[in-house]
Protein backbone atom coordinates (compact mmCIF):
# COMPACT_ATOMS: atom_id res chain seq x y z
CA UNK A 1 0.00 0.00 0.00
CA UNK A 2 2.66 2.40 0.97
CA UNK A 3 4.26 1.73 -2.36
CA UNK A 4 1.37 3.25 -4.13
CA UNK A 5 0.58 6.02 -1.80
CA UNK A 6 3.36 7.82 -0.30
CA UNK A 7 2.77 8.34 3.30
CA UNK A 8 2.04 11.98 4.09
CA UNK A 9 3.91 11.80 7.36
CA UNK A 10 7.22 10.44 8.60
CA UNK A 11 7.24 8.80 11.97
CA UNK A 12 10.55 8.42 13.68
CA UNK A 13 11.03 6.65 16.96
CA UNK A 14 14.22 7.37 18.79
CA UNK A 15 14.84 5.60 22.02
CA UNK A 16 16.69 7.41 24.69
CA UNK A 17 20.41 6.71 24.63
CA UNK A 18 19.96 4.38 21.75
CA UNK A 19 23.39 5.07 20.30
CA UNK A 20 25.16 4.03 23.44
CA UNK A 21 22.86 1.21 24.38
CA UNK A 22 23.98 -2.32 23.93
CA UNK A 23 22.67 -3.93 20.82
CA UNK A 24 22.04 -7.52 19.96
CA UNK A 25 22.77 -8.92 16.55
CA UNK A 26 20.23 -11.38 15.37
CA UNK A 27 20.53 -13.21 12.07
CA UNK A 28 18.00 -11.80 9.69
CA UNK A 29 15.03 -13.95 9.01
CA UNK A 30 14.73 -12.99 5.44
CA UNK A 31 17.24 -14.08 2.84
CA UNK A 32 18.32 -17.01 4.89
CA UNK A 33 20.98 -17.89 2.35
CA UNK A 34 23.01 -14.81 3.14
CA UNK A 35 23.95 -15.57 6.64
CA UNK A 36 25.93 -12.50 7.24
CA UNK A 37 23.01 -10.15 7.13
CA UNK A 38 22.03 -9.35 10.64
CA UNK A 39 19.54 -7.26 12.36
CA UNK A 40 20.73 -5.19 15.24
CA UNK A 41 18.40 -4.33 18.06
CA UNK A 42 18.81 -2.29 21.23
CA UNK A 43 18.69 -4.44 24.27
CA UNK A 44 16.42 -4.10 27.29
CA UNK A 45 15.77 -6.15 30.26
CA UNK A 46 12.83 -6.94 32.40
CA UNK A 47 11.52 -4.07 34.47
CA UNK A 48 13.52 -1.50 32.62
CA UNK A 49 11.78 1.68 31.59
CA UNK A 50 11.62 2.41 27.93
CA UNK A 51 11.58 5.99 26.92
CA UNK A 52 12.25 7.97 23.85
CA UNK A 53 11.10 10.59 21.50
CA UNK A 54 8.67 10.24 18.70
CA UNK A 55 9.13 12.70 15.90
CA UNK A 56 6.31 13.26 13.49
CA UNK A 57 7.38 15.01 10.34
CA UNK A 58 4.86 16.46 8.00
CA UNK A 59 5.85 17.04 4.44
CA UNK A 60 6.66 20.63 3.70
CA UNK A 61 3.59 22.66 3.13
CA UNK A 62 1.23 19.91 3.97
CA UNK A 63 -0.99 19.36 6.84
CA UNK A 64 -2.41 16.30 8.33
CA UNK A 65 -5.58 15.84 10.15
CA UNK A 66 -5.64 13.08 12.71
CA UNK A 67 -7.78 11.61 15.37
CA UNK A 68 -4.96 11.32 17.85
CA UNK A 69 -1.41 9.94 18.21
CA UNK A 70 -0.87 6.89 20.32
CA UNK A 71 2.29 5.14 21.49
CA UNK A 72 2.19 1.45 22.44
CA UNK A 73 4.55 -1.15 23.77
CA UNK A 74 3.72 -4.52 22.34
CA UNK A 75 5.05 -7.96 23.11
CA UNK A 76 3.79 -10.82 21.04
CA UNK A 77 4.32 -14.44 20.27
CA UNK A 78 4.20 -15.09 16.58
CA UNK A 79 3.90 -18.47 15.05
CA UNK A 80 4.12 -19.87 11.57
CA UNK A 81 0.97 -21.23 10.23
CA UNK A 82 2.32 -24.55 9.13
CA UNK A 83 1.33 -27.57 11.04
CA UNK A 84 3.14 -30.46 12.50
CA UNK A 85 5.94 -31.63 10.30
CA UNK A 86 9.50 -31.27 11.48
CA UNK A 87 11.04 -32.46 8.29
CA UNK A 88 14.06 -30.52 7.21
CA UNK A 89 12.80 -29.46 3.84
CA UNK A 90 9.59 -28.09 5.19
CA UNK A 91 11.45 -26.39 7.90
CA UNK A 92 13.46 -24.29 5.55
CA UNK A 93 10.39 -23.18 3.67
CA UNK A 94 8.58 -22.51 6.87
CA UNK A 95 11.09 -19.89 7.84
CA UNK A 96 9.88 -17.84 4.96
CA UNK A 97 6.36 -18.15 6.02
CA UNK A 98 4.95 -15.16 7.72
CA UNK A 99 4.38 -15.69 11.35
CA UNK A 100 1.22 -14.62 12.85
CA UNK A 101 0.81 -13.33 16.31
CA UNK A 102 -0.92 -15.86 18.45
CA UNK A 103 -0.65 -14.03 21.70
CA UNK A 104 -0.07 -10.44 22.55
CA UNK A 105 1.06 -10.80 26.07
CA UNK A 106 1.99 -7.18 26.41
CA UNK A 107 0.18 -4.19 25.10
CA UNK A 108 0.39 -0.87 26.82
CA UNK A 109 -0.39 2.37 25.14
CA UNK A 110 -1.26 5.93 25.81
CA UNK A 111 -1.98 8.99 23.71
CA UNK A 112 0.78 11.30 22.90
CA UNK A 113 -1.53 13.95 21.64
CA UNK A 114 -5.18 14.37 21.09
CA UNK A 115 -6.85 14.59 17.74
CA UNK A 116 -5.94 17.62 15.77
CA UNK A 117 -3.95 18.75 12.85
CA UNK A 118 -0.28 18.52 12.32
CA UNK A 119 1.20 21.26 10.29
CA UNK A 120 4.83 21.01 11.18
CA UNK A 121 7.09 18.49 12.60
CA UNK A 122 6.62 17.81 16.21
CA UNK A 123 8.39 15.81 18.93
CA UNK A 124 6.62 13.79 21.60
CA UNK A 125 8.63 12.23 24.38
CA UNK A 126 7.23 9.03 25.77
CA UNK A 127 8.00 6.80 28.70
CA UNK A 128 6.87 3.41 29.87
CA UNK A 129 8.12 3.26 33.35
CA UNK A 130 9.50 0.05 34.88
CA UNK A 131 8.08 -2.02 32.20
CA UNK A 132 7.66 -5.69 33.02
CA UNK A 133 8.69 -7.99 30.21
CA UNK A 134 7.53 -11.47 30.65
CA UNK A 135 9.42 -13.28 27.94
CA UNK A 136 12.76 -12.99 26.37
CA UNK A 137 12.93 -12.02 22.77
CA UNK A 138 13.26 -14.98 20.53
CA UNK A 139 13.59 -15.61 16.84
CA UNK A 140 13.10 -19.27 16.13
CA UNK A 141 12.09 -21.39 13.26
CA UNK A 142 8.40 -21.47 13.88
CA UNK A 143 8.07 -19.08 16.68
CA UNK A 144 9.18 -15.55 17.40
CA UNK A 145 8.86 -13.52 20.54
CA UNK A 146 9.05 -9.88 19.59
CA UNK A 147 8.88 -6.57 21.37
CA UNK A 148 8.36 -3.26 19.74
CA UNK A 149 7.35 0.31 20.32
CA UNK A 150 4.53 1.28 18.03
CA UNK A 151 3.39 4.78 17.21
CA UNK A 152 0.04 5.12 15.54
CA UNK A 153 -1.40 8.25 13.99
CA UNK A 154 -5.08 7.59 13.87
CA UNK A 155 -7.08 8.97 11.04
CA UNK A 156 -10.45 8.70 9.64
CA UNK A 157 -9.13 6.68 6.84
CA UNK A 158 -6.16 4.46 7.37
CA UNK A 159 -4.07 4.87 10.39
CA UNK A 160 -0.40 5.55 9.90
CA UNK A 161 1.84 3.64 12.19
CA UNK A 162 5.44 2.85 12.75
CA UNK A 163 6.98 0.18 14.93
CA UNK A 164 10.45 -0.06 16.33
CA UNK A 165 11.68 -3.40 17.46
CA UNK A 166 13.81 -3.82 20.51
CA UNK A 167 15.29 -6.87 22.11
CA UNK A 168 14.76 -8.22 25.53
CA UNK A 169 17.01 -10.44 27.58
CA UNK A 170 15.75 -11.91 30.75
CA UNK A 171 18.46 -12.52 33.29
CA UNK A 172 17.19 -15.32 35.37
CA UNK A 173 18.33 -16.30 38.70
CA UNK A 174 18.75 -19.98 39.13
CA UNK A 175 15.73 -20.91 41.17
CA UNK A 176 13.56 -19.22 38.68
CA UNK A 177 14.80 -21.25 35.79
CA UNK A 178 14.79 -24.55 37.59
CA UNK A 179 11.14 -24.36 38.27
CA UNK A 180 10.56 -23.84 34.62
CA UNK A 181 12.53 -26.86 33.71
CA UNK A 182 10.93 -29.16 36.18
CA UNK A 183 7.64 -28.30 34.84
CA UNK A 184 8.51 -28.91 31.28
CA UNK A 185 10.85 -31.81 31.37
CA UNK A 186 8.65 -33.93 33.55
CA UNK A 187 6.21 -34.38 30.75
CA UNK A 188 8.56 -36.21 28.47
CA UNK A 189 10.52 -39.38 28.83
CA UNK A 190 13.26 -40.25 26.48
CA UNK A 191 13.42 -43.89 25.76
CA UNK A 192 16.37 -44.34 23.47
CA UNK A 193 19.71 -44.58 24.96
CA UNK A 194 21.56 -44.38 21.75
CA UNK A 195 20.03 -44.39 18.40
CA UNK A 196 21.03 -43.97 14.88
CA UNK A 197 20.54 -40.49 13.77
CA UNK A 198 19.45 -40.54 10.21
CA UNK A 199 20.47 -37.09 9.38
CA UNK A 200 21.31 -35.73 5.96
CA UNK A 201 24.82 -37.06 5.94
CA UNK A 202 23.96 -40.70 6.44
CA UNK A 203 20.38 -40.87 5.37
CA UNK A 204 21.40 -43.16 2.57
CA UNK A 205 22.73 -45.73 4.98
CA UNK A 206 20.81 -48.91 5.36
CA UNK A 207 17.99 -48.87 7.78
CA UNK A 208 19.23 -51.91 9.63
CA UNK A 209 21.62 -49.76 11.58
CA UNK A 210 18.75 -48.47 13.54
CA UNK A 211 17.82 -51.58 15.37
CA UNK A 212 19.64 -53.96 17.59
CA UNK A 213 22.20 -51.63 18.98
CA UNK A 214 19.80 -49.10 20.18
CA UNK A 215 18.47 -50.78 23.21
CA UNK A 216 17.09 -48.82 26.00
CA UNK A 217 19.04 -49.00 29.17
CA UNK A 218 17.06 -48.89 32.36
CA UNK A 219 19.86 -47.13 34.12
CA UNK A 220 19.67 -44.22 31.87
CA UNK A 221 16.22 -43.31 32.86
CA UNK A 222 17.08 -43.58 36.44
CA UNK A 223 19.98 -41.31 35.96
CA UNK A 224 17.92 -38.67 34.39
CA UNK A 225 15.16 -38.85 36.93
CA UNK A 226 17.65 -38.85 39.69
CA UNK A 227 19.25 -35.73 38.43
CA UNK A 228 15.88 -34.02 38.05
CA UNK A 229 14.98 -34.93 41.56
CA UNK A 230 18.06 -33.29 42.81
CA UNK A 231 17.50 -30.24 40.75
CA UNK A 232 14.45 -29.56 42.79
CA UNK A 233 16.66 -29.08 45.75
CA UNK A 234 19.31 -26.50 45.97
CA UNK A 235 22.03 -28.89 44.88
CA UNK A 236 22.24 -27.70 41.34
CA UNK A 237 26.02 -27.92 40.98
CA UNK A 238 26.02 -31.64 41.46
CA UNK A 239 27.56 -33.43 38.43
CA UNK A 240 25.37 -35.24 36.01
CA UNK A 241 26.51 -38.77 35.48
CA UNK A 242 25.11 -40.91 32.76
CA UNK A 243 25.87 -44.53 32.47
CA UNK A 244 25.26 -45.52 28.91
CA UNK A 245 26.11 -48.29 26.56
CA UNK A 246 25.35 -50.71 23.84
CA UNK A 247 25.14 -54.22 25.03
CA UNK A 248 28.44 -56.09 24.71
CA UNK A 249 29.78 -53.35 22.57
CA UNK A 250 30.15 -50.11 24.37
CA UNK A 251 29.86 -48.97 27.88
CA UNK A 252 30.72 -45.47 28.87
CA UNK A 253 30.20 -43.16 31.72
CA UNK A 254 29.31 -39.68 30.63
CA UNK A 255 29.73 -37.07 33.25
CA UNK A 256 29.51 -33.35 33.17
CA UNK A 257 29.48 -30.65 35.74
CA UNK A 258 25.82 -29.91 36.22
CA UNK A 259 22.43 -29.88 34.63
CA UNK A 260 22.16 -26.14 34.24
CA UNK A 261 24.52 -23.72 32.77
CA UNK A 262 24.35 -20.07 32.23
CA UNK A 263 25.33 -19.03 28.78
CA UNK A 264 28.78 -17.85 29.72
CA UNK A 265 29.76 -20.96 31.50
CA UNK A 266 32.00 -23.81 30.44
CA UNK A 267 30.74 -27.32 30.27
CA UNK A 268 33.39 -29.43 31.89
CA UNK A 269 33.14 -33.13 32.06
CA UNK A 270 34.60 -36.38 31.05
CA UNK A 271 33.80 -39.60 29.36
CA UNK A 272 35.02 -42.73 30.92
CA UNK A 273 35.25 -45.79 28.73
CA UNK A 274 34.36 -48.98 30.48
CA UNK A 275 34.04 -51.14 27.43
CA UNK A 276 34.82 -50.42 23.83
CA UNK A 277 34.39 -53.04 21.24
CA UNK A 278 33.43 -50.38 18.83
CA UNK A 279 35.97 -49.02 16.45
CA UNK A 280 35.40 -45.40 17.06
CA UNK A 281 36.48 -42.81 14.57
CA UNK A 282 35.63 -39.80 16.59
CA UNK A 283 33.30 -38.43 19.18
CA UNK A 284 31.45 -35.15 19.22
CA UNK A 285 29.56 -33.13 21.71
CA UNK A 286 26.67 -31.05 20.42
CA UNK A 287 24.27 -28.61 21.91
CA UNK A 288 20.91 -29.06 20.35
CA UNK A 289 18.20 -26.48 20.70
CA UNK A 290 14.70 -27.85 20.44
CA UNK A 291 11.84 -25.59 19.71
CA UNK A 292 8.43 -27.03 20.20
CA UNK A 293 5.37 -25.12 19.22
CA UNK A 294 1.70 -25.50 18.68
CA UNK A 295 -0.88 -27.19 20.69
CA UNK A 296 -0.75 -30.81 21.54
CA UNK A 297 -2.28 -32.62 18.62
CA UNK A 298 -0.49 -30.64 16.03
CA UNK A 299 2.55 -29.51 17.88
CA UNK A 300 5.82 -29.33 16.00
CA UNK A 301 9.37 -29.96 17.15
CA UNK A 302 12.32 -28.38 15.47
CA UNK A 303 15.88 -29.24 16.46
CA UNK A 304 18.80 -27.16 15.50
CA UNK A 305 22.38 -27.87 16.31
CA UNK A 306 23.77 -24.89 18.05
CA UNK A 307 27.25 -26.29 18.62
CA UNK A 308 29.10 -29.16 17.09
CA UNK A 309 32.34 -29.85 18.91
CA UNK A 310 34.69 -32.73 18.32
CA UNK A 311 36.04 -33.97 21.59
CA UNK A 312 37.84 -37.11 20.64
CA UNK A 313 39.80 -38.46 17.71
CA UNK A 314 40.42 -42.16 17.45
CA UNK A 315 39.34 -45.14 19.42
CA UNK A 316 40.13 -45.33 23.10
CA UNK A 317 40.58 -48.49 25.03
CA UNK A 318 38.96 -49.58 28.20
CA UNK A 319 39.86 -47.38 31.12
CA UNK A 320 40.49 -44.29 29.07
CA UNK A 321 39.08 -40.99 30.19
CA UNK A 322 38.37 -38.27 27.69
CA UNK A 323 38.10 -34.75 28.98
CA UNK A 324 35.27 -32.46 27.95
CA UNK A 325 35.54 -28.72 27.97
CA UNK A 326 33.15 -26.61 26.05
CA UNK A 327 33.09 -22.87 26.35
CA UNK A 328 29.55 -21.72 25.81
CA UNK A 329 30.29 -18.04 25.90
CA UNK A 330 31.41 -17.77 22.33
CA UNK A 331 28.24 -19.15 20.85
CA UNK A 332 24.82 -17.63 20.27
CA UNK A 333 22.74 -19.93 22.33
CA UNK A 334 19.16 -19.74 23.20
CA UNK A 335 18.29 -20.09 26.84
CA UNK A 336 15.52 -22.38 27.79
CA UNK A 337 12.11 -20.83 27.73
CA UNK A 338 8.55 -21.89 27.72
CA UNK A 339 5.06 -20.60 27.60
CA UNK A 340 1.72 -21.95 26.59
CA UNK A 341 2.42 -21.65 22.94
CA UNK A 342 5.96 -22.93 22.66
CA UNK A 343 9.02 -23.97 24.47
CA UNK A 344 12.75 -23.95 23.82
CA UNK A 345 14.88 -26.61 25.37
CA UNK A 346 18.54 -27.45 25.12
CA UNK A 347 20.17 -30.82 25.02
CA UNK A 348 23.73 -32.00 25.31
CA UNK A 349 24.20 -34.63 22.70
CA UNK A 350 27.08 -37.04 22.71
CA UNK A 351 27.66 -38.53 19.27
CA UNK A 352 29.99 -41.40 18.59
CA UNK A 353 30.86 -42.11 14.99
CA UNK A 354 32.40 -45.47 14.28
CA UNK A 355 34.71 -46.37 11.48
CA UNK A 356 31.86 -47.58 9.34
CA UNK A 357 30.20 -44.18 9.59
CA UNK A 358 27.49 -45.27 12.00
CA UNK A 359 26.54 -42.66 14.49
CA UNK A 360 25.47 -43.38 18.03
CA UNK A 361 24.20 -40.64 20.18
CA UNK A 362 22.92 -39.85 23.55
CA UNK A 363 21.01 -36.72 24.34
CA UNK A 364 20.61 -35.31 27.72
CA UNK A 365 18.74 -32.24 28.57
CA UNK A 366 20.62 -29.30 29.86
CA UNK A 367 19.16 -26.09 31.02
CA UNK A 368 20.69 -22.95 29.70
CA UNK A 369 19.92 -19.68 31.23
CA UNK A 370 21.06 -16.19 30.88
CA UNK A 371 22.82 -14.36 33.57
CA UNK A 372 24.15 -10.97 33.70
Partner 1 sequence: MSYSDSLDQAITTVKQQSILVQRSLAQRKLMDALRYSSIMLTELRNPKLLPKQYYELYIMIYDALTVLSNYLFENHPKKHHLADLYELVQYAGNVIPRLYLMITVGTTYLKCPDAPTNEILKDMLEMCRGVQNPIRGLFLRYYLSQRTKELLPENEVALNSQFIITNFIEMNKLWVRLQHQGPLREREQRTKERKELQILVGSQLVRLSQVIDDNLTMYKDQILPIILEQIVQCRDIVCQEYLFDIICQVFPDEFHLNTLDTLLETTLLLNTDISVNKLISTLVERLNGYLKRIEQQEITNQSKVDVFDVFWNYLNKLNEERPDLSISQMVSLIEIVLNLNLHWFPNNFENLNKVYELISTKCNDFDNNIPKETEFVFLNILTLQNFDFLDSNFYFKLVIECPAYSSLLSSQNSNLQTAAINKLLDVFITADNFVIDSKTQLESFLKLCEPLIKMKLKRALANESSPTNQSSNHPMDPFVVKNSTNVGQSGVSEEKQKISRENIDDLLSFDPNQEKLSKFIHILFNSVLKSTTFKKLESQVEILLIIKNWLYKGGKNITFTYPSVITNFWRLIRKASLFMNKIPKKKPYYENVIKQNFKYISRCTTEMFNICGAQSNDQVFKIILQTASLADQLEFGEIAYDFFSQAFTIFEECLTDSTTQFQELIYMAQILQRTRSLYKEDYYDSLIVRSTLHGSKLLKKQDQCRAVYLCSHLWWATEISSLGEEEGVTEDFFRDGKRVLECLQRSLRSADSIMDNVQSCELMVEILNRCLYYFIHGEEYETHVTVNYINGLIELIKTNLKSLKLGEEAQLSELRIDDNPRNVTKNTLVNGSDGNYVQIGDNNMNTTSTVLNPQSKLLRVSDLIQVPIQHFHRTCKYIVNQRDIDPRFETIVV
Closest separation in Å from C-beta 360 to partner 1? 16
Question: How far, CA to CA in Å, does 51 sit from each of 13, 73, 178?
Answer: 10, 11, 33
Closest separation in Å from C-beta 197 to partner 1? 18
Closest separation in Å from C-beta 315 to partner 1? 6
Closest separation in Å from C-beta 312 to partner 1? 5
Indicate the residue among 210 and 316 with the shorter CB distance to partner 1: 316
C-alpha–C-alpha distance, residues 47 and 317, integer Å: 54
Indicate the residue among 222 and 318 with the shorter CB distance to partner 1: 318
Indicate the residue among 222 and 308 with the shorter CB distance to partner 1: 308
Closest separation in Å from C-beta 286 to partner 1? 11
The number of residues making up the chain comes to 372
Indicate the residue among 273 and 369 with the shorter CB distance to partner 1: 273
Indicate the residue among 123 and 321 with the shorter CB distance to partner 1: 321
Closest separation in Å from C-beta 283 to partner 1? 9
Indicate the residue among 21 and 308 with the shorter CB distance to partner 1: 308
Which residues are CB-contacts of 152 (< 8 A; sequence separation ≥ 6)?
69, 70, 71, 72, 159, 160, 161
Beta bridge partners, 54, equal 13, 124
Q: What is the 3-state secondary structure (H, E, C) of the chain?
A: CCCCCCCCEEEEEEECCCCCCCEEEEECCCCCCCCCCEEEEEEEECCCCEEEEEEEEECCCCCEEEEEEEEEEEEEEEEECCCCCCCHHHHHHHCCCCEEEEEEEEEEEEEEEEEEEECCCEEEEEEECCCCCCCCCEECCCEEEEEEEEEEEECCCCCEEEEEEEEEECCCCHHHHHHHHHHHHCCCCCCCCCECCCCHHHCCCCHHHHCCCCCCCHHHHHHHHHHHHHHHCCCCCCCEEEEEEECCCEEEEEEECCCEEECCCEEEEEEEEEEECCCEEEEEEEEEEEEEECCHHHCEEEEEEEEEEEEEECCCCCCCEEEEEEECCCCCCCCCEECCCEEEEEEEEEEEEECCCCEEEEEEEEEEECCC
Indicate the residue among 107 and 266 with the shorter CB distance to partner 1: 266
Indicate the residue among 226 and 282 with the shorter CB distance to partner 1: 282
Closest separation in Å from C-beta 264 to partner 1? 12
Closest separation in Å from C-beta 289 to partner 1? 17
Closest separation in Å from C-beta 313 to partner 1? 5
Indicate the residue among 324 and 337 with the shorter CB distance to partner 1: 324
Residues that bind partner 1 (CB under 8 A): 280-282, 308-317, 320-323, 325, 327, 330
Amino acid sequence: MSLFFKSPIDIEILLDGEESRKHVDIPAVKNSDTRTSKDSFPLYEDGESISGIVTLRVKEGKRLEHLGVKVSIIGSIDMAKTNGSTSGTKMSSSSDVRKKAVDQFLCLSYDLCPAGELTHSQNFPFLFKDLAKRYESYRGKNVDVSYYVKVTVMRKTTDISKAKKFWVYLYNDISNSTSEITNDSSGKQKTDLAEVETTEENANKDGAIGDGNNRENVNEQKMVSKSTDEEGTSNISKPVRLDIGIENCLHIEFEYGKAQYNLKEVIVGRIYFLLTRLKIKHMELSIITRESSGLKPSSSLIDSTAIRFEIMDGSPVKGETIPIRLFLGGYDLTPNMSCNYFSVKNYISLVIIDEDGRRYFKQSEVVLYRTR
